[in-house]
Amino acid sequence: MKNMNGKMKKWLVVTGCLVLCTVLVVLIGQQFKAQKPVDDPLPSQSSEVSDVTVDPSEPDSTEKEKEVIVTPPDTTQPTSTDNGAISSGTEQTIQSDVSKSEYTEDQLKDPTQQPNGEKVTEPPQSVDHDKVEQPKETPKNDSQPQGGDTKDGKIYVPGFGWITDNGGGGQGVTVDGDGDIDKQVGNMGE
């Protein structure tokens, strides 16, 4: 290894890593491979009837059998669900269509009642747009700074808080207007 230069050592390390990665990929891939199902031998077919014997020395097994009582569900009464369908076992019915109320033109245009017949207590009054009273300027709260307030070289911008005032905004630059949109305009390093 002492006779090899740095470039040769680097290539040997890279080649070794590639071989190691290839081996790992193969081993991991084998984990996802589906196992071939093994057929279990079928039990032998015999026409003999085997007798079942109950050990009378175990009285608990018969007592437990007597305790279990299964009652079948009563399917004679139709049951109603929350969506209006009636179920009586396997038979189902679909909920009827919803009826849409039809209103006359008089009902729709009458300002003293709603279309469904409910009386309106106070009919809507139209207001002339030019006579609407404009709200007065909100009083300035001294504890809360307003947009544009300056203090200690900073300016208050609502939603952003106090930010450093750099004296008039950004910096404008005139660029060549030959229409080439792919042309570099400025230097990002500045």
pLDDT at 101: 76
Coil/strand/helix, residue 20: helix
DSSP 8-state secondary structure symbol assigned to residue 141: P
Which residue(s) pair with 151 in the sheet? 154
Q: Which two tokens stand for residue 75?
A: 């399917």
Q: Which two tokens stand for residue 5?
A: 């230069």
CA distance 136 to 50: 101
pLDDT at 78: 63
Contact predicate 26/33, CB 8 Å: no
- Find where tokens 């009386």 sit: 119
Q: Give, for all 190 residues of the chain, the pLDDT tens digit.
A: 567 788 899 999 999 999 999 999 999 988 887 777 777 777 666 666 667 677 766 655 555 556 677 777 777 766 555 555 555 567 667 777 777 777 778 877 777 777 777 877 776 677 788 888 877 776 666 677 888 888 888 888 888 888 887 766 666 677 666 667 777 767 776 5
pLDDT at 36: 75
C-alpha 12: how far from chain center = 50
Phi, psi of 151, deg, nearest 5 = -160, 130
Q: Give ∠ CA 17-19-24 in degrees, rounded to 5.
A: 95
Q: Determine if the pTM surpasses 0.75.
A: no
